[in-house]
Structure 1
Amino acid sequence: MGGLTDDEAFRKTTFVVIDFEATTPTGSPAQPVEVAVLALRYDGEWQETGRGTSLIRPPAFAPVTPAFTAQTGLTAAELEAAPTPAEALGALDRRFTAGTSYLLVAQHAATEANLIYQQRQHCPALARIDLLDTIPLAKRCVPGLINYRLDTLLAYFGIAQPADRHRAPADVAVTAQLFRRLIAVAHDNGEVDSLAGLVKIAGRAAPGNAPVQEELFEIAPQEGE
């Protein structure tokens, strides 16, 4: 009987680990200032199929604060010279190939999902890709931890903390390691045996794919009604 990594749909999927760093202006949605991605496929073993990163210039209403610089090391001067959201996210969006099966992977995927949705005009393809959240997957695979923050999970699996933690490329790299460890546990314990089962546990629909409420539109009666 096959396990998760033997599932054909799982093997046909490209898992794109994604992370944003963002400023959070008062009264406005978070604004991305850095993005990183790392793409993985499994075919008997994990293969990295691509990676990328870019700084992103924040709008004037979302300035870089001293606290943000202290956490990430990113300065206002660096970000003033960065590509615009349209440039950075547009370039990322063009890397997704039509007809390929993708799932985004993120720690606390709601954060990434909301940032992408707010920027969807710049990355329409990315905004339609559903997500996997490593937190509910970790809760299923390693129950009973004190919490499921990234640092806690890294410590549990013995994954070294990167020197530049809280920068998108570093966080993507360790989240990718975490994801691979969780998939190994899910495969070995036999609780998840298919991509569909994985999505049921850890999936999150992209906000851009949310169904439209029919009652918002007037539906013309059909003949005979």
Structure 2
Amino acid sequence: MARDTSAMSDVCFVGLRLRLETRSGHRPEPVELNALARRGATEVTAWSVHNAVVPPEPGTPPPPPVKTPVPEPAAGSLAAAFAEVERRVGREEPHALVATHGFIEKTLVWEQRPYCPRLASCPLLDVMALAAIVQPTATPLGFDARLRLAGIEIPPDRSLSWDTDAMMRLFHTVVSAGVAAGRWSSLEDLVRAAGSVPPPIEPEFMPELPVDVQESLFD
């Protein structure tokens, strides 16, 4: 890296959860999005976003590729939900996405990158893989089992917002345990352990950023 801006206390970690619905013969579509940001590996919330999403009707053709200037997203669309998250992503500090496994989140964020280019440029951390490093088990554990192992009680009336908060509490627990054990001390360490870095965003979608913010994690 050209400059060290990625000490964990400097990073805004953005937890992202989606609720999907599956219609016969079609891929699962998001119907709800929740994002929760915490600065450093703390339990203090910096901001949160919650939006219902109106999925496209079955048989709707995929939208054409977005060109610049990027049009306003349709109200209630997934693009509009990600655009609202994007408005909270600051330009003066590095960010990282946090998800459980993260394949769906990574795919959808990338597809919507014209509306959330800073968000789509963030590395993504898999909290489940981090938890397995800190506390390995004989067989893989699901999200709920990991929460219980971390001492997080699951309410009977859980919501997506609760799930996002619980995921970030789990993230705080496993990151703190890894720091104490000397496993990691920076964002780069977390990415190497259980993360991924997206390809560069097309320049026409990317806003101007200070030169020392959101640099590539690895030269």
What do residues 46-74 of structure 1 show as CA deviations (whole Å, max 9, x unaligned)? 422111111111100189xxxxxxxxxxx
Number of the residue aligned with 1:140? 133
Q: How has the CA–CA distance of structure 1 residues 8 and 94 changed in structure 2, closer, same or farther, with 3 Å as cutoff? A: closer
Equivalent residues in 2 for 1:44-83, closer than 5 Å: 46-61=43-58, 83=76
Larger radius of gyration: 1
Q: Which moved more, 1:146-155 or 1:188-197?
A: 188-197
TM-score by length of structure 2 reads 0.74
Structure 2 residue aligned with 1:126, among 119, 122, 134?
Answer: 119
Q: Which moved more, 1:152-161 or 1:195-204?
A: 195-204
Say whether 1:36 aligns with 2:16.
Answer: no
Higher helix share: 1
Q: Could you say what the CA RMSD is over the residues aligned between the two structures, in angstroms?
A: 2.6
Number of the residue aligned with 2:101? 108
Q: How has the CA–CA distance of structure 1 residues 93 and 193 changed in structure 2, closer, same or farther, with 3 Å as cutoff? A: closer
Give the share of equivalent positions with the same residue, in percent. Answer: 29
- Measured in 2, the distance between the counterparts of 1:87 and 1:193 equals 35
Query: Aligned-pair distance for 1:84?
Result: 2.2
Note the residue ranges of structure 1 that are not aligned, 5 or more in a row.
1-6, 64-81, 212-225
AA partner of residue 90 (structure 1):
A
Aligned residues: 184
Query: Aligned-pair distance for 1:114?
Result: 1.3
Q: Which moved more, 1:110-119 or 1:135-144?
A: 110-119
Query: Aligned-pair distance for 1:101?
Result: 0.4
TM-score by length of structure 1 reads 0.72
Note the residue ranges of structure 2 that are not aligned, 5 or more in a row.
61-74, 203-219
Task: Determine helix, strand or coil for the equivalent of 2:145.
Answer: helix
